[in-house]
Amino acid sequence: MARGLRSYLSLAVLITVVRLGAYAVLEYNKRTGQESISTLPLVLLLFPEAALLTPQRHPWYFALMLVIGSVLWAWVMLLLLRLVRGRR
CA–CA separation, 73 vs 67, rounded Å? Answer: 10
Mean pLDDT computed over every residue of the chain: 85
Range of the domain at 71: 3-87
Question: Could you give the number of structural domains in the chain?
Answer: 1
pTM: 0.81
Least confident of 31-35, 58-62, 77-81, 82-86: 58-62
Convert the pLDDT of each residue in 27-67 to its tens digit.
Answer: 899 889 998 888 888 888 888 877 776 667 777 888 888 89
pLDDT at 87 exceeding the cut of 70: no
Query: Of 49, 59, 52, 39, nearest to 15 (Cα)?
Result: 49
Lowest mean pLDDT among 13-22, 43-52, 73-82: 43-52
